[in-house]
């Protein structure tokens, strides 16, 4: 038997052997034990580590599900699609399979809850501001990958809502001029959602996107540790260091913030376990009731809607009608003008000029072809030719563009301070309206279409766009408080 001292010596020798061949100790010191984070982190800063924990849960449960799942849309001897039957087999026959499947489905919703709160913290404390632009862009790329991962995985159970939801979403790509119809066929691998579609989505969900996602998460963390973490005061702790080069307002990430993250993980796992064991369907929001029936191409569900985390953008898609487009173009013209005046970024100002040039082509482009219609008819025809023909196309642009707008925040926010603690009432009120509109859009995205819901969604869509488009203007007008030189905490 080796003594405790001998075991410790053996461990040191093993670690030295590894360090000679791989910088394990250096990585640990750089990113954990000697990475100095601000002292005044609050609970909003727990959601980053929570997202990493949920990602691990999704990967582990996904591996076990793939062991028993078969991506095959053909019918078995009982007349049930093999893919649907394999999910039922996991739920009923595989030991612990029901909990693994529910952990994976609940984990998808939990992932988006945590990520949305993580992004909201960035809006609160200006985590996208210089020098963290690249950290924010990597985060937005992660968010887009998560949306793609969720969409491709949604089809795999081969239920009614899965099949018809995929059919509706893929058909949206057909609205893209020229390449749209061929692109939608390429994505499906067929003219309808079929076995080819299932296999393609399975490959993307299990292999392609997870590899990209892991790479982006790694890049996100490396970029974060290179520039340092933001804090609720928005004060750069690297600007004030002691003789040893240690930030005066910083503490080692381990063990101080690790303890907080462990506490947050425990709370998350408690909530997660309650949902998995007692309400895994989430009232029909995490798992729709129609998805417990196999996909039938001849039987359309009465109401087709995406999962809850896509519904705000789905509401914007439905709200973009022909009658709504003039108001939308008027708002875009206002935003472009104010952005061009209020933004100092050269490439954003050039993009504004391109939008103006596109609008000019929309109104007057047909004159190049010698049409002699009355001026009003000519203008309307030019709009349809130059700006995309119909409202469906602009609905797709609205749905995708509303997500991409978050990536522009580092260049749209012209406020002299980062944190909402020192911003004025104007910004706080506009941010509150933005959050309320986002929640309303999410609600109406789960409901069947209605005249009232359509009008409310259109109003909320305009306010959603105005939050981003008018930011260079109202962020300058906002009356801010002076920012302290050092961090404040209790």
Which residues belong to the annotated binding site for heme b? Answer: 104, 118, 205, 220
Distance separating alpha carbons of residues 168 and 395, to the nearest angstrom = 13
CA geometry: angle at 122 spanning 121 and 123, to 5°?
Answer: 90
Sign of CA dihedral 424, 429, 430, 431: positive
Given a contact cutoff of 8 angstroms between Cβ atoms, the answer to whether 115 and 146 are in contact is yes
What phi, psi does 247 have (nearest 5°)?
A: -60, 135
What phi, psi does 220 have (nearest 5°)?
A: -60, -45
Per the annotation, where are the binding residues? 104, 118, 205, 220, 225
Given a contact cutoff of 8 angstroms between Cβ atoms, the answer to whether 194 and 73 are in contact is yes
Given a contact cutoff of 8 angstroms between Cβ atoms, the answer to whether 294 and 80 are in contact is yes
Largest CA distance in the chain: 99
**What tokens appear for 228 in the block?**
């340092």
Helix, strand, or coil (residue 241): strand
Given a contact cutoff of 8 angstroms between Cβ atoms, the answer to whether 123 and 431 are in contact is yes
Give the residue from 125, 152, 150, 151 showing the smallest Cα distance to 48: 125
Per the annotation, where are the binding residues for a ubiquinone? 225
Residue owning tokens 């002691």 = 242
The DSSP result for 442-466, as a single string, is HHHHTSPP-HHHHHHHHHHHHHHHH
Residue 247 β-bridge partners:
241
The DSSP result for 49-72, as a single string, is HHHHHHHHHHHHHHHHHHTT----
The Cβ of residue 269 has, within 10 Å, a number of other Cβ atoms equal to 15
Distance separating alpha carbons of residues 287 and 290, to the nearest angstrom = 9
Distance separating alpha carbons of residues 180 and 462, to the nearest angstrom = 27
């Amino acid at each position: 038997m080796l003594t405790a001292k001998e075991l410790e010596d053996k461990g040191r020798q093993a670690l030295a052997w590894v360090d000679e061949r791989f910088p394990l100790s250096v990585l640990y010191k750089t990113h954990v034990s000697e990475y100095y984070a601000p002292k005044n982190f609050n609970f909003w800063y727990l959601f980053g580590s929570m997202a990493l924990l949920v990602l691990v849960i999704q990967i582990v449960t996904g591996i076990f599900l793939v062991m028993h799942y078969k991506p095959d849309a053909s019918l078995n001897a009982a007349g049930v699609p093999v893919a649907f039957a394999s999910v039922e087999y996991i739920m009923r026959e595989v030991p612990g399979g029901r909990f693994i499947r529910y952990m994976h489905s609940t984990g998808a919703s939990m992932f988006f809850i945590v990520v949305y709160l993580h992004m909201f913290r960035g809006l609160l404390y200006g985590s996208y501001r210089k020098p963290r632009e690249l950290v924010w862009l990597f985060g937005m790329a992660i968010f887009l990958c998560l949306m793609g991962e969720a969409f491709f995985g949604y089809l795999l159970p081969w239920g009614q809502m899965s099949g018809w939801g995929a059919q509706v979403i893929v058909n949206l790509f057909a609205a893209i001029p020229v390449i749209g119809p061929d692109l939608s066929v390429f994505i499906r691998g067929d003219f309808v959602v079929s076995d080819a579609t299932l296999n393609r989505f399975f490959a993307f969900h299990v292999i392609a996107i997870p590899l990209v996602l892991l790479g982006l998460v790694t890049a996100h963390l490396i970029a974060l540790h290179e520039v340092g973490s933001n804090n609720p005061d928005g004060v750069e702790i690297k600007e004030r260091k002691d003789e040893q080069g240690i930030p005066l307002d910083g503490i080692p990430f381990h063990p101080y913030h690790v303890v907080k993250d462990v506490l947050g993980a425990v709370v998350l796992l408690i909530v997660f376990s309650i949902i998995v064991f007692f309400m895994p369907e989430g009232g029909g929001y995490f798992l729709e009731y129609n998805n417990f029936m196999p996909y039938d191409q001849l039987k359309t569900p009465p109401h087709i809607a995406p999962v809850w985390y896509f519904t705000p953008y789905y509401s914007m898609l439905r709200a973009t009608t022909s009658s709504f487009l003039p108001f939308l173009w008027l708002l875009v013209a206002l935003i472009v003008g104010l952005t061009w005046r209020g933004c100092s970024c050269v490439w954003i100002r050039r993009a504004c000029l391109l939008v103006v040039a596109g609008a000019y082509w929309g109104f007057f482009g047909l004159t190049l072809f010698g049409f002699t219609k009355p001026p009003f008819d000519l203008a309307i025809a030019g709009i349809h030719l130059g700006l995309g023909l119909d409202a469906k196309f602009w609905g797709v642009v609205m749905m995708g563009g509303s997500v991409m707008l978050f990536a522009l925040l580092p260049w749209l926010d012209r406020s002299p301070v980062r944190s909402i603690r020192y911003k004025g009432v104007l910004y706080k009120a506009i941010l509150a309206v933005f959050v309320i509109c986002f929640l309303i859009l999410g609600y109406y995205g789960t409901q069947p279409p209605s005249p009232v819901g359509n009008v409310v969604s259109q109003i909320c869509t305009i306010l959603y766009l105005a939050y981003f488009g008018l930011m260079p203007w109202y962020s300058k007008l906002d009356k801010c408080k002076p920012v302290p030189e050092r961090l404040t905490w209790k």
